[in-house]
């Protein structure tokens, strides 16, 4: 009983759980990327940096304003969202008529600026952020040791992902959004303010990244480079899932996190490459991605 496929069950379940945690982050970030891409046709390279800014928001709030974790969980994403709106209004909106590649280049440059600034102020090695008292400690499940905070991350991100899916697929606002994505000119003609929706979409995507950042802060070190290493994996996740579907990007994110976690149990050396290998295979079999539609 204490073993599963010849692996101690404790290690198996532990890595599975960590995979779920990582998968939750992949899901939230790829969801944000998909929402932004759907509306703006831009691959938001700044997404990783916004995630990092969210985490630093929590840390700064705690260090200088004595804001606790729960306040940070609300305030930091709002600030990041506002920051996102500023970026959209001041820079991105001038690029919509150009080749989509310019959007990628601009957001890449912005990511460098943000990372450089935070590195310069806080150093690369990162700042500790302690787990809130309510969530410290762990459940001893007998076969494994489940830190409460990690469990909370999984639950919180699932809720956020579900709400986002619900709003976009099942509400009036979501219907406008989908219409604006499908045919902006026609939607505008119906009297819906499309530029406003674009702006809010980007702000929302940024806030989602900020929220993921705050969730990540107590689990890992708050460091300036935390986003850039993650974002490339998330790109691969997006390519695998295909950008078309909201639900698709959530499921792919969580699924790949789990696969990555399990790889650590069975063949740890491949754990950092497994997502990219899956991406290559998917590209060969289904170039549009698992949930994507060939345009």
Partner 1 sequence: MKQKLLVALTTMALAAFGTQAHAQAEKAKTGKLSGDMVKVAVMNDMVGLYADIGGPGSVEAAKMAVADFGGKILGKPIEVVFADHQNKPDIGASKAREWFDTQGVDMIVDVPTSSVAIAVAKVANEKKRVFMNTGAATKALTNEECNPYTVHYAYDTYALANGTGKAIVQTGGKTWFFLTADYAFGHALEGDTAAVVKASGGEVKGAVRHPLSASDFSSFLLQAQASKAQIIGLANAGGDTINAVKAANEFGLTKNQTLAGLLMFITDVHSLGLKTAQGMMLTDAWYWDANDETRKFGKRFFEKMKRMPSFDQAAVYSATLTYLKAVEASGTDDADAVMATLKKTKINDVFTKGGYIRVDGRMVHDMYLMQVKKPEDSKYPWDYFQLKKVIPAEEAFQPLSLSKCSLVKK
Partner 2 sequence: MSRSTIGYLALLAFGLAAPFFIYPVLVMKVLCFSLFACAFNLLLGYTGLLSFGHAVFFGSAAYVAGHALKVWQLPTLLGLLAGTGAAAALGWVIGSLAIRRQGIYFAMITLALAQMVYFLFLQAPFTGGEDGLQGVPRGSLFGVLDLSDDMNLYYVVLAIFAAAFWLIQRTIHSPFGQILKAIRENEPRAVSLGYDVAKYKLLAFVLSAGLAGLAGATKTLVFKFATLTDAHWHTSGEVVLMTLVGGMGTVFGPLVGATVIVTLQNELADKVGSLVTVIMGSIFVICVLAFRRGIVGESLALYERMIGRR
Residues of this chain that bind partner 2 (CB under 8 A): 43, 91, 94-95, 98, 100-102, 104-106, 108-117, 119-120, 124, 228, 232-233, 235-236, 238-239, 269, 272-273, 276-277, 279-280, 283-284, 287
Q: How far is the CB of 205 from partner 1 (least distance, A)?
A: 23
> If we measure between CA atoms, which residue out of 1, 11, 43, 46 comes closest to residue 206?
46
Do the beta carbons of residue 146 and residue 17 sit within 8 Å? Answer: yes
Residue window 250-289: x/- pattern of binding to partner 1, with contact defined by CB under 8 A: -----------x--x---x--x------------------
Minimal distance, residue 269 CB to partner 2, in Å: 6
Query: Is 132 near partner 1 (CB under 8 A)?
Result: no
* Interface with partner 1 (CB under 8 A), residue from 4, 71, 89, 147: 147
Which one of partner 1, partner 2, none interacts with residue 147, CB within 5 to 8 A by kind? partner 1
- Map residues 198-227 to x or -, x wherever contact with partner 1 holds by CB under 8 A: ---------------------xxx-x--x-
Put residue 183 in one of left, alpha, beta given phi > 0 → left and psi -120 to 50 → alpha: beta
Give the phi and the psi of residue 270 in degrees, each rounded to 5. -90, 0
Which residues 6+ apart lie within 8 Å of 227 measured at CB? 47, 48, 49, 50, 51, 52, 111, 115, 213
Residue 1 Cβ, how far from partner 1 at the closest point, in Å?
Answer: 16
116 contributes a contact to partner 1 by CB under 8 A: no
Nearer to partner 1, 27 or 35 (CB): 27
Q: Are 174 and 168 in contact (CB under 8 A)?
A: yes
CB of 131 to partner 1, least distance (A): 7
> Cα separations (Å) of 175 from 1, 69, 199?
50, 34, 17
> How many whole angstroms separate alpha carbon 63 and alpha carbon 10?
36
Gap between the Cα atoms of 181 and 163, Å rounded = 19
> Which of 6, 103, 116 minimizes the C-alpha distance to 52?
116
CB of 264 to partner 1, least distance (A): 5
């Amino acid at each position: 009983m204490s073993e599963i496929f010849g692996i101690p069950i404790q290690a198996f379940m532990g890595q599975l759980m960590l995979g779920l945690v990582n998968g939750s982050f992949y899901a939230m970030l790829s969801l944000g990327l998909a929402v932004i891409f759907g509306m703006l046709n831009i691959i938001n390279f700044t997404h990783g940096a916004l995630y990092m800014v969210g985490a630093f928001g929590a840390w700064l709030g705690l260090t200088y304003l004595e804001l606790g974790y729960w306040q940070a969980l609300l305030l930091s994403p709002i600030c990041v969202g506002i920051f996102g709106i500023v970026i959209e209004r001041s820079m991105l909106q001038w690029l919509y008529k150009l080749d989509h590649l310019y959007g990628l280049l601009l957001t890449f440059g912005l990511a460098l600026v943000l990372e450089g600034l935070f590195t310069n102020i806080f150093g690369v090695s990162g700042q500790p952020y302690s787990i809130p008292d309510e969530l410290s400690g762990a459940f001893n499940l007998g076969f494994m040791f489940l830190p409460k905070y990690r469990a909370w991350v999984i639950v919180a991100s699932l809720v956020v992902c579900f709400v986002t899916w619900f709003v976009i697929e099942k509400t009036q606002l979501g219907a406008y959004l989908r219409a604006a994505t499908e045919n902006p000119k026609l939607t505008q003609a119906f009297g819906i303010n499309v530029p406003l929706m674009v702006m809010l979409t980007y702000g929302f995507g940024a806030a989602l990244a900020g929220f993921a950042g705050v969730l990540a802060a107590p689990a890992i070190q708050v460091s300036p480079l935390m986003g850039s290493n993650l974002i490339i994996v998330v790109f691969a996740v997006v390519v695998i899932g295909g950008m078309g579907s909201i639900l698709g990007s959530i499921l792919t994110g969580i699924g790949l996190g789990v696969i990555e976690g399990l790889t650590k149990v069975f063949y740890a050396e491949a754990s950092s490459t497994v997502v990219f290998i899956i991406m290559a295979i998917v590209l060969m079999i289904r170039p549009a991605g698992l949930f994507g539609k060939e345009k």
